[in-house]
Structure formats: C-alpha cells, structure tokens
Structure 1
C-alpha cells in the first residue's frame, strides 16, 4: 500500500519515548519528514538523529507560546505541516470522589489546551492546500472510563468532543481528524499505572499485569509498534475517507460496540 507520506512533514509531540517515539519512527519509515518534540532535549535529538529526515526539538507544550514556535520551526526546516499528531503525557491517577475543579483545570491545561493551539497553527494551511491529517493519541478511557484515572478520563473526553466536531467542519477541505485509543500498550506509562493499581490493591505489578492481560481477548499487552501502525495508516493518503473516528488499538479489551 502506498501511504503517500513520502516527503510529507509531520509534527509528533511527546516523541522522546513510548507511543510518540514509535509513531515518529513509523512515519519516518514511510518517508515523512518528522519533527520530534519532547522535554528531554538530548534524548529527543538523539532519537531524531537516528531517523532519515528528522529534527528533535526540546519543548514543553504547557508553555502557551511553544505550539506556534514548533509549527514555525517545522515549516522552516521541512515546509508546510501535513500531519499533526496530538500526543502528550497523562495526568496522575486519582479518584472521582476526590476530584476538584482545580485538578480538572490542570488536566485540561495538559491534555486539551496545547492540542488546540497546535491545531490552530496548522489547520489554515492544511485547508488551503486541500490536504491534512490530524491524529490524536487518546485512551480507551474515552469510551470506557478507567478506574482511578478520573483526570485523564475527563480531559481526554473533552478533547474527543472537540475533535469530533472539528472533523465535520473540515472534511470537505481534505483534512481528516481522528483519534486512536490505545488499550494496554507495553509502555513506561502503563507500567507506572500498573504499579499504582498494585499498591492500592496490595498486589505486585506482575500480578496486576497478569490480571489485566486476562481481561484482554488477545491475551497480552500491545506493542508501541502495533499502535504506531494504526496512526500511520490514518495519517496516510489511503485513509482519505476515514474521519471523525475513534479507532481502538486494544486487543479487543473494550467490549462496547
């Protein structure tokens, strides 16, 4: 399948490790120019240097001025941005009974505001050129809230509502907007969450992982590479008629239709 990504320019935040790095590598393997973004500057630059056409930028998306700077740097280095991946770290675990308005505002500042600023920076150009791909890294909690992750569940659901609305507004301009929902993918973030659950339940992280795997029809955690392949397809020319979707990559974990 020809993905049509050769020579396209992509921005991938949160790409010093985990899902973001896997996505950056997958897009680069298809010939895209990739701007890797992360707070760990040396690491993100090292990872970019290992790719055929990439640059690593040290940046914290929580800074309101950073998204515009990233778009400007991408355009200066490679040209107009064709693919925008929305990705970032998640908020700490917490219970709904203890959730405060201040904590919700913090979660929105982390998971929603930076992404809106990035979209604002690339969307006019995408619409003008008649091509654009916006793919958000979400969470299975968007469709089935995850126990103990109230901040993530709430803020990611807000982002999902915005993206679904946006998809309908820009589809006729050749811009697609989708969200990929990872289930239990074998990343450092999921390992941290497993340890948190283990501490609350008086078990070990290995026992918690075994319990989680037992709830997944595939019987295992997914790999970052499997997740990245789904993102890359949605970023491709082949996915031009797929928009406004929440695509699960979870081994069948979420049972709802």
Structure 2
C-alpha cells in the first residue's frame, strides 16, 4: 500500500528514542523528511543518524518543550531546511510517578507548560501552512492513562487527558481544511519508560522487577509488551493520505490491554 507521503515533512517531538524515535524512523522509511526534535542533542543526533544510514533525510534539533520561546526559532529552522511542516507528531516526556493529591502547584504548572501548552502553541505555529496547503496531519501521542487512569501517575493522567479534549475540539475546527487531528495511545510498549515504571513499582512493593513485568504481561491479551515498530507504524498510517477519513479519534495500540470499550 502506498501511503502517499513520500517527500512530505514531519516534525516529531521526543524523537531521541522510545516511541518518538520509532515514529520518526517509521515515517522516514516511507520517504518522509523528518525533523527530529528532542530535549538532548545527543538523542536527536542518534535518531537522525539512524535515519540517514538507511537513506532517509533528517534534521536533528535540540528542543526543550518547557521553553515556549524556542518554538519560533526551531520551527523556522525546520522550514528553512525542509519547508513547512505537513505532519506534526506531538510526543512529550512524562512526569515522574506521583499521586493526584498533595502535589505542589508549581509542579503541576511546570508539567502543564511542557506537556500541554507546548503542544498547543507548537500546533498553532504550524497550522497556517497546513491550512494554506489544504493538507496536514496532527498526531498526539499520550498514554493509556487517558482511557484507564494508571495508579501513581496522577499528574500524567490529568494532563494527558486534557490533550484528548483539545485534539477532539481541534479536529472539528480544521477538518474542512484537509487536516486531521488524532490521538494515539500506547499500551505497554517495550520502552525505557516502561522499564522504569516496572522498576519503580517493584521498589514500592518490595518485589523483583521480573515478577512485576510478568504480572503486567499477564494482563495483556496478546501476551507480550508491544514492539516499538508496531507503534511507529500505527502513527505513520495516521499520517498518511490513506487515513484522511480518520479524525477526532483516539487510536489504541495496546494489544487489547485497556479493558473498557
């Protein structure tokens, strides 16, 4: 199947590894020119190098999402190199494990800026060019906590859920401009973040991390953690011309983990 996006330009946030890196590399395999945004320049360079080694085009950019003033300069640099952004993948890092109650307001505020406000402001920056071309894809990667809140991830559950409401509202506003806006939800994908969360749970409960991981896998109908490529390819399909009638949706890539309909 030809996804129809060869030669388009994508900006992928948090693309130094994990889910963002998988999405960036999947898009590159389809001939998309990828702007690799990542907090650490080393991570951005690493993913960009991997893309170039397979014949793709990539521009690495060190990008601290908590700094809203950096949006204009980073997007302008991307546009000078590859032209305006056709595909935006909003993928932000998660906050540390936390209860919902008793957190300092400043912690809520700082993570709201880096996880939510940064996404909104960046999307507003690239939307005019998408509207002019009558084509665009806005994909926001969140967490399974938006469907079934995860214990001890209070800040993450709350802030990521706000992005679902934003994306759904945005989809109705830009649909007639040929732009889609969707949320993609990972289940237990084998990333360093999942390893960290398993380790934290094992520490809290005084258990071996292997037992915690096995217990988690037992709740997944397909019987394993997801592979990075599986998540990246799902996002790439949402970025394609073939997905033009999918918008305002929340797409789960979870191996059947989330029990709710």
When normalised by structure 2's length, the TM-score is: 0.96
**Offset of residue 47 of structure 1:** 2.3
Distance 1:200 1:250 in 2: 25
- Shift in Å at residue 59 of structure 1? 1.8
CA deviation string 1:202-231 (max 9, x = no partner): 111111101100111111100111001110
C-alpha deviation, 1:100, in angstroms:
4.1
Matches of 1:57 and 1:248 in 2, distance apart?
29
Give me the whole-angstrom Cα distance separating, in 2, the residues matched to 1:35 and 1:41.
13
Tell me how many residue pairs correspond in the alignment.
Answer: 257
C-alpha distance in 1, partners of 2:160/2:15? 19
Q: Give the alignment of 1:52-131 within 5 angstroms.
A: 52-131=56-135
* Shift in Å, 1:113: 1.0
For 1:37 and 1:3, how far apart are their aligned partners in 2?
A: 23
Deviation per CA, 1:145-172, whole angstroms, max 9, x where unpaired? 0011000000001111111100111001
1:156 is paired with a residue whose SS is helix
Distance of 1:145 and 1:218 partners within structure 2: 21
Structure 2, unmatched stretches of 5+, are none
Question: 1:171 maps to which residue?
Answer: 175
Which residue, 179, 187, 194 being the options, matches 1:190?
194
Gapped regions of structure 1 (runs ≥ 5): none
| Contact 1:182–1:249 under 8 Å retained in 2 | yes
Alignment deviations for residues 48-87 of structure 1 (CA, whole Å, 9 cap, x no partner): 1332111111121111122222221111101111000001
- Residue 183 of structure 1: how far off its partner (Å): 0.7
Q: How far did 1:97 drift?
A: 3.0
Separation of aligned partners in 2, 1:96 and 1:203? 24
1:8 matched residue in structure 2:
8
Aligned residue for 1:136, secondary structure, equals strand
| Moved >6 Å (runs of 4+) | none
